[in-house]
Amino acid sequence: MSCTLCQDKSYSLRAEVGSVRYLECEVCHLVYQNPMPDASSAGNLYQKKGYFVDPKKGTDYIGGEQWLRKTAKFFIRLIKKYWPGDFKEAKVLDFGCATGVFLDEIRKQGAIVQGIELSRWASAYAQSRFGLEILGQDIFELDLPKNHFDLITMIHSVEHLPDPVRVVERLVESLKPGGLLVIATPDVSSMGERFFGSRWQYYVPHDHLALFDKSSVTRLLKKVNLTLSGIEPYLWRRWGTLEALILFGIKWARAVVQGSSFPRGTPKDGLVVFSRKPGEMS
């Protein structure tokens, strides 16, 4: 198989989780799952409610709404650094919007919001709970308007795609000239990954298929003719590393006491990447 980002066939083994290997492209350093599921089966995982609400995994998109709102507000504050003025009348598309909390928050600031979400369960929840407009599940089946959106966000969705280039290309077509694309994704060159190796919490077989770092995400943006505006590391911020190690130590000690399985890492390694489509915003 070849790298989905640069098509080169050379690779080295970066991580191994069960029978799944994560390979690192020797040219562009994208880390991708092997074997890679095809686009149709890649979506199966997200169809059931259990992906979004699972007490065993500590995931709860319903009961955890307040936490999701905090996270959404954090991203909105960060986006404002790269955003002229307010969000009034701004046309916003969130690709991989899950249950729609981010869209609900940015709508409060006057944005006109729409979402695309692969999960039929999460789409239905976003529609019934927040009255959001979900355009559909499969971006390649949608007739997206060209040069339409002022802001497109991909908040922890790009790593779930077997072919991120194709999807981002499609999104860029529907972005206005001068419009902003925001990608938040785990950083595969982060301290957390270096420390935890194959135990890094973002190596999640069949779920996380393509893992980027600053250089590979920059290459992705160049490939789709976007101009990089800035990259903000988040979660591993100042004190973040120390805090994460302390939290991890607590989790580890608890696992020893309770005799449960060894915990994976802590959620502390992200990149938020801001890029623009060339041209003047109308």
Of 68 and 158, CB closest to Zn ion: 158
6 binds Zn ion (CB under 5 A): yes
217 binds Zn ion (CB under 5 A): no
Whether residue 180 contacts residue 154, with contact meaning beta carbons closer than 8 Å, is answered with: no
Q: Which residues pair with 136 in a beta bridge?
A: 116
Which spans in the chain are helix H?
39-42, 65-80, 101-107, 120-130, 164-173, 191-196, 214-223, 240-258
Number of residues lying near Zn ion (CB under 5 A): 8
188 binds Zn ion (CB under 5 A): no
- Among residues 15, 23, 25, 158, the one that binds Zn ion under rule CB under 5 A: 25
210 binds Zn ion (CB under 5 A): no
How near is the Cβ of 198 to Zn ion at its closest, in Å? 20
Whether residue 35 contacts residue 52, with contact meaning beta carbons closer than 8 Å, is answered with: no
* Contact positions with Zn ion (CB under 5 A) in 26-45: 27-28, 30
Of 2 and 227, CB closest to Zn ion: 2
Q: How far is CA 194 from CA 79, 81, 189, 200, 224, in A?
A: 28, 29, 7, 8, 29
Of 3 and 272, CB closest to Zn ion: 3
Binding segment (CB under 5 A) for Zn ion, from list 20-28, 62-70, 71-79, 226-234 = 20-28
3 binds Zn ion (CB under 5 A): yes
Binding segment (CB under 5 A) for Zn ion, from list 4-12, 128-136, 239-247, 252-260 = 4-12
Find how far residue 19's CA is from the centre of its chain.
24
**Total number of residues shown for the chain:** 282
Nearest to 90 by CA among 76, 72, 78, 69: 76
Whether residue 88 contacts residue 67, with contact meaning beta carbons closer than 8 Å, is answered with: no
How near is the Cβ of 208 to Zn ion at its closest, in Å? 17
How near is the Cβ of 18 to Zn ion at its closest, in Å? 24
139 binds Zn ion (CB under 5 A): no
23 binds Zn ion (CB under 5 A): no
Q: Residue 91 is encoded by which pair of tokens?
A: 């046309």
Binding segment (CB under 5 A) for Zn ion, from list 22-30, 104-112, 117-125, 180-188 = 22-30
For the beta sheet containing 31-34, the strands, ordered from the edge strand earlier in sequence to the opposite edge, are 11-17, 20-25, 31-34, 210-211
Q: Which stretches of the chain bind Zn ion, using CB under 5 A?
A: 3, 5-6, 8, 25, 27-28, 30
